[in-house]
Amino acid sequence: MSLRTRTRAITTTAALATATTAALTLSAAAPVSASTAAGATAAATVPWSASHGTASAAGDRWVESGKLVLDGTLTNTGTGCYSVWTRFVHDWVVMPYTKHAEICGAGSVDFTATKSYTYTVTGTLRVCRGTTDTTDCGQGVSITHWPIG
């Protein structure tokens, strides 16, 4: 069973979350948190990171209640402006880029983003120079590829 299937099962019922948590822990997969309260969801978190120029972004991602959740920090060590963008493909339809964070100058900014998620959605995250478009970006990283535990 793939982690994607496990994650969907985890978010469906709390009973499956407890069983899957034990299986994931034994297989040394990504950390899993679970609540045993009725109607609770559990999330298998997966780290992600991307960079470009003097900026980098890193965080965790998981699926919760039918949504992909990205939680991260954009950090810049230089003087320029940078931004974090995602692009999703749903059933072969390429959606436009969406900006989630921007920073100008040295420092860091936290961000959280959510997107409706099903097994037919794929997504990529990029760090780009500037704050208005995606013409100068680092390599995209998949945010919908789930490691197999």
**pLDDT reported for residue 119:** 87
Please tell me the pTM assigned to this model. 0.71
Give the C-alpha separation, 143 to 145, whole Å: 6
Contact 59, 51 (CB under 8 A): no
Q: Is the pLDDT score of 24 beyond 50?
A: no
Convert the pLDDT of each residue in 66-101 to its tens digit.
999 999 999 999 999 999 999 999 989 999 999 999
Q: Is the pLDDT score of 7 beyond 50?
A: no
